[in-house]
Amino acid sequence: MTGFVGRSRELDALAELLESARLVTITGTAGVGKTRVALRAAADNGGRFADGVCVTELGGLRDLDLVPHTVAATLGLPEQDARSEAGAVIDYLSDRQLLLVLDTCEHVIGGCAPLVAALLREAPGVTVLATSRQPLDMPGEHVFPLLPLPVPEPGTAVGDGDAVELFAQRAAAAVPGFTVTDENRCDVIQLCRRLDGIPLAIELAAVQLRATPLRALSGRLEHRFLMLTGGVSVALPHQQTLRAAVQWSYDLCSPAERVLWARLSVFAGSFTIPAAEDVCAGGILDHSDVLAALIGLVDNSVVLRPEEPEGDEEPRYRLLDTISEFGAEQLADSGEQAPTRHRHIAYFLGLAEDFARHDKDGDQLARFRALRGEHPNLRAALRYALGPPGTAEDDGRLAARLASALRPYWEISGLLREGRLWLDRILPHLAAPAAERAWLLLTRGVLAIFQGELHEATADLEASIALAEEHGGELACALGYTYLCLAFVFSGRHSEAAVAGAAAEERLDAAGHLSGLVSLDIHLGYLYLLTGSADKAIDRCAQGLRRLDDGERWARSYLQVITALALYLQGNIEAGSTAARDSLRLKNEVGDITGIAYCLEMLAILAAAQQRYKRTASLLGAADTLWERMGERFGGTAAMEGFHQQAERAARDALGSKRYEKLFRDGAGRELSMTVDLATSDTDKPPPVSQRSLTKREREIAALVCEGLTNGQIARRLVISRRTVDTHVASIYAKLGVSSRVQLATWLGQPSGSAPAE
Ligand SMILES: Nc1ncnc2c1ncn2[C@@H]1O[C@H](COP(=O)(O)OP(=O)(O)O)[C@@H](O)[C@H]1O
Ligand SMILES: [Mg+2]
């Protein structure tokens, strides 16, 4: 977001290291610029890795066990089977060429080291670039200590890329028109020297120029350091220098800003304004004053200005980790930690319950995205709610409420392994039979179903129903039967499924629970389909669709894909394709990878029925790429496998193996958005480039890419930021469905600008 200064020598050295080393750890004191340098090095060198770069931010994470989950999420791996999370990551990366950036490891070294060790062993094409205050301390690690920016000698000219340049940039942002001149150079150098050239310290000092002239600023800083060193002019360790600079910023804040700074430290990762208002108001800080204090902190570079949000999403603010740590210390000292954490839990519990309650209401997608963006905070709230042993939270009730309220979230986000991990952690706290325990078991049972662990699922659901019946949890009981029905359907225990379904229906009707009823429509629709009553399946799904309002996507997409399969079995191929395409569109909007894979398979099967074998082959290829991320096709359930085999055989026979394989590979290699476009628009050929609306700027940049310019060179040529170029190039790749410069050149080189032959 801000200009990048210097570091060319470090970047050259890193580029060389990354050619050969498998693990490079950039170490250094807080605020020295590890993250910035790592991201820059990744951008510069990522092109050498066929599968690109994956940046995993571990700063907000406090949980060693969740390191693999966090990496998996940035790789886009669904958590939908029963493998261990680390196992899934390693499987996926084992034959890939990728640069994995693990940013901010120092809090979770114990979680990073085993994962990295396994990657070094089992994923020969993966290189890890870590940043950490301490080395990971493992064999094969190349430690790259990052020093502060150089500070020029007082008498000398200002060089390129040093601390003075950084100060000048930040000062000009704070006070438009500020420049380093012959008159003020000495003061600037002295100030940078005092701050040891630590970029974060320099940034914090530079914004103070708004209120204080340079000469006075420099004098006050000098005075502060002399007080710290007992009046002698000696150097402090970098850590203490930074701390002094942070403390100085803190002292210059208004009382309201200070309180807010401390309280904001309970957020993990980023936060929205409404969250800050709800969680941080109280005592001297009124709800209506939070915003003004937040703006004050942004002005002082304490809180990072948010990036431009997409659409009507809330802007998200963030604290650098060092700044947040300082705030956390203040919060602990003020004795306000517990009440602030409680407000944090209450706020996110509210969001979760709201999502669960309204999960069949309008703009489900927007609310889902908002919740998904809060993932680090949901984790933090769960951790706070579980509390350390001996505290009031130790009974697990609050954590149980939160983890259970998140049931639709775990399900829709596909974070099944992580959801189960939390449930497994919370359950032992709730040993006594109680309604909360029934909800927890229900939730764990539901997640187990979708992971294909049907024994565990059935046991949890039956236990949950028994508890709920005894402790008056009528709704938990009704939902227990609803999902027990599904567990039986997947287990092939069809008559038991029908019995559980009837028990569920009676209770859901009595409770008038709409989303439960829709779920049951899905489960029974699938049961009818599998037991050969396609017409009953279609009716049941139609009933479910009638219950839904327009904004709902999740349940609708299931009802439609079951309808598609039922129509196919009835020989109604056209209508089946329409339903499957509708379903795919919704699955794609929600980002449900498993659902997308099912729909692609379904469309491939339907295409085979229409004898469109080329389409069958490429759709099966596209689905295969997705299954690869998930482990096993259809999660190992046999119901669809027969149809799949049949479609594949038909296409192979008609096309010949060689041609089939080629089309399959083409489908597999295509960008997902392109696949979805082709599949939902019912065409087989990508539209010609000319119709794929590159903007004027994108066409200009694409041409430069083809001339062989790097993104950095393009940025300089067009006088725009490197970041903007990166974004444009990503957008061009996505629109054209290509993934390399060579492919792009091929595209643009087509004489008529049309697609290469299929
Ligand atoms: N080379 C640089 N050019 C511009 N700003 C920098 C540079 N290095 C660090 N910064 C700024 O200094 C602050 C701390 O940098 P960061 O990379 O987060 O440090 P670390 O990861 O070592 O704690 C950030 O606000 C960052 O933007
Ligand atoms: Mg960092």
Question: pLDDT, tens digit, for every residue of 287-305?
Answer: 999 999 999 999 888 898 7
Which residue's structure tokens are 């700074």?
261
Ligand of minimum distance to the alpha carbon of 104: 2
DSSP state of 23: E
CA of residue 569 to ligand 2 center, whole Å: 56
Taking CA atoms only, the protein residue closest to ligand 1 atom 7 is: 33
CA of residue 1 to ligand 2 center, whole Å: 15
CA of residue 522 to ligand 1 center, whole Å: 51
| Count of C-beta atoms within a 10 Å radius of residue 549 | 11
Ligand 1 neighbours, Cβ below 6 Å, are 2, 4-7, 28, 30-36, 131, 166, 199-200, 203, 320, 322
Taking CA atoms only, the protein residue closest to ligand 1 atom 5 is: 4
Task: Give the pLDDT of residue 276.
Answer: 96
Element (H, E) at 141: strand 141-145
pLDDT confidence bin for 551, thresholds 50/70/90: confident
CA of residue 34 to ligand 2 center, whole Å: 5
Mean per-residue pLDDT for 169-185? 87
Task: Give the pLDDT of residue 245.
Answer: 86
Q: How far apart are CA 684 and CA 37, in angstroms?
A: 44
Query: Quick one: tokens of 325?
Result: 């740590």
Bridge partners, residue 362, by sequence: none
Q: How far apart are CA 738 and CA 619, in angstroms?
A: 17
Question: pLDDT, tens digit, for every residue of 705-740?
Answer: 887 788 888 877 776 777 778 878 877 877 777 777
Query: Quick one: tokens of 85?
Result: 């999370």
CA of residue 333 to ligand 2 center, whole Å: 25
Mutate which of 35, 36, 721, 723 for ligand 1? The one with the most ligand atoms within 8 Å of its CB, which is 36
Q: How far is CA 746 from each of CA 167, 223, 702, 732, rounded to the nearest angstrom?
A: 45, 64, 12, 14
Bridge partners, residue 128, by sequence: 23, 100
Q: How far apart are CA 667 and CA 628, in angstroms?
A: 14
Q: How far apart are CA 691 and CA 694, in angstroms?
A: 8
Ligand of minimum distance to the alpha carbon of 106: 2
pLDDT higher than threshold 70 for residue 360: no
| Count of C-beta atoms within a 10 Å radius of residue 441 | 26
Q: How far apart are CA 340 and CA 342, in angstroms?
A: 5
Ligand of minimum distance to the alpha carbon of 323: 1
- Helix or strand or coil: residue 317? strand
Higher pLDDT, 380 or 640: 380
CA of residue 198 to ligand 1 center, whole Å: 8
Cα dihedral sign for 678, 683, 688, 690? Answer: negative
% of the chain at pLDDT higher than 70: 92
Taking CA atoms only, the protein residue closest to ligand 1 atom 9 is: 33
CA of residue 35 to ligand 2 center, whole Å: 4
**Helix 255-264 / helix 273-280 crossing angle, nearest 10 deg:** 100
CA of residue 705 to ligand 1 center, whole Å: 29
Q: How far apart are CA 433 and CA 463, in angstroms?
A: 10
Identify whether the C-beta of residue 238 lies closer than 8 Å to the C-beta of residue 197: no
Q: How far apart are CA 618 and CA 447, in angstroms?
A: 32
Task: Give the pLDDT of residue 149.
Answer: 92
Mutate which of 5, 34, 35, 300 for ligand 1? The one with the most ligand atoms within 8 Å of its CB, which is 35
Instruction: Write down the mean pLDDT value for the chain.
Output: 87
Taking phi over 0 as left and psi of -120 to 50 as alpha, with beta for the rest, 142 belongs to beta
State which ligand 1 atom lies nearest to the alpha carbon of 38.
17
Mean per-residue pLDDT for 518-531? 94
Ligand of minimum distance to the alpha carbon of 34: 1
Higher pLDDT, 82 or 249: 249
pLDDT confidence bin for 362, thresholds 50/70/90: low
State which ligand 1 atom lies nearest to the alpha carbon of 7.
1
Ligand of minimum distance to the alpha carbon of 303: 1
Identify whether the C-beta of residue 600 lies closer than 8 Å to the C-beta of residue 615: no
Taking CA atoms only, the protein residue closest to ligand 1 atom 24 is: 200
Taking CA atoms only, the protein residue closest to ligand 1 atom 16 is: 33
Cα-flanking dihedrals φ and ψ of residue 55, to 5°? -105, 120
Task: Give the pLDDT of residue 753.
Answer: 38
Start-to-end C-alpha separation, the chain: 41
Taking CA atoms only, the protein residue closest to ligand 1 atom 17 is: 33
Identify whether the C-beta of residue 316 lies closer than 8 Å to the C-beta of residue 306: yes
Mean per-residue pLDDT for 589-605? 88
State which ligand 1 atom lies nearest to the alpha carbon of 103.
21
Question: pLDDT, tens digit, for every residue of 457-496?
Answer: 999 999 999 999 998 789 999 999 999 999 999 888 999 9
Q: How far apart are CA 94 and CA 91, in angstroms?
A: 5
CA of residue 203 to ligand 1 center, whole Å: 9
Cα-flanking dihedrals φ and ψ of residue 242, to 5°? -65, -45
CA of residue 200 to ligand 1 center, whole Å: 6
Ligand of minimum distance to the alpha carbon of 30: 1
Q: How far apart are CA 25 and CA 28, in angstroms?
A: 10
State which ligand 1 atom lies nearest to the alpha carbon of 3.
4
Query: Quick one: tokens of 397?
Result: 């009730």
Ion ligand 2, residues whose Cβ is below 5 A away: 34-35, 104
Q: How far apart are CA 138 and CA 24, in angstroms?
A: 11
pLDDT higher than threshold 80 for residue 89: yes
Which residue's structure tokens are 């219950």?
547
Identify whether the C-beta of residue 477 lies closer than 8 Å to the C-beta of residue 465: yes
Task: Give the pLDDT of residue 754.
Answer: 39
Helices (H), 513-569: 514-530, 534-547, 554-569
Least confident of 24-33, 235-244, 666-675: 235-244
CA of residue 518 to ligand 1 center, whole Å: 50
Least confident of 172-176, 505-509, 624-628, 743-747: 743-747
Query: Quick one: tokens of 433?
Result: 């039979």
Task: Give the pLDDT of residue 752.
Answer: 33
Task: Give the pLDDT of residue 41.
Answer: 93
Bridge partners, residue 213, by sequence: none
Which residue's structure tokens are 């990072």?
304
Cα-flanking dihedrals φ and ψ of residue 600, to 5°? -65, -40
pLDDT higher than threshold 80 for residue 661: yes
Q: How far apart are CA 228 and CA 248, in angstroms?
A: 12
Mutate which of 146, 200, 241, 722 for ligand 1? The one with the most ligand atoms within 8 Å of its CB, which is 200
pLDDT confidence bin for 741, thresholds 50/70/90: confident
CA of residue 107 to ligand 1 center, whole Å: 19
Taking phi over 0 as left and psi of -120 to 50 as alpha, with beta for the rest, 568 belongs to alpha
Taking phi over 0 as left and psi of -120 to 50 as alpha, with beta for the rest, 737 belongs to left
pLDDT higher than threshold 60 for residue 688: no
State which ligand 1 atom lies nearest to the alpha carbon of 32.
22
**Helix 573-590 / helix 672-681 crossing angle, nearest 10 deg:** 150
pLDDT confidence bin for 63, thresholds 50/70/90: confident
Task: Give the pLDDT of residue 631.
Answer: 67
Identify whether the C-beta of residue 483 lies closer than 8 Å to the C-beta of residue 445: yes
| Count of C-beta atoms within a 10 Å radius of residue 31 | 27
DSSP one-letter string for 197-240 = T-HHHHHHHHHGGGTS-HHHHHHHHHHHHHHHTTT---PPPHHH
Task: Give the pLDDT of residue 751.
Answer: 40
In sequence order, what are the residues at sequence separation of 6 or more whose Cβ sits closer than 8 angstroms to the Cβ of residue 99?
18, 42, 45, 46, 48, 49, 52, 53, 54, 126, 127, 129
pLDDT higher than threshold 60 for residue 743: yes
Maximum pairwise Cα distance, the chain: 90
Least confident of 159-173, 227-241, 285-299: 227-241
Task: Name the residue type at position 137.
Answer: D
Taking CA atoms only, the protein residue closest to ligand 1 atom 8 is: 33
CA of residue 260 to ligand 2 center, whole Å: 22
Say if pTM beats, i.e. exceeds, 0.75.
yes
pLDDT higher than threshold 80 for residue 307: no
Q: How far apart are CA 193 and CA 152, in angstroms?
A: 8
Query: Quick one: tokens of 197?
Result: 């050239």
Query: Quick one: tokens of 259?
Result: 């309180």
- Helix or strand or coil: residue 76? coil
Taking CA atoms only, the protein residue closest to ligand 1 atom 23 is: 31
State which ligand 1 atom lies nearest to the alpha carbon of 131.
21
Which residue's structure tokens are 């489960």?
523
Mean per-residue pLDDT for 548-567? 88
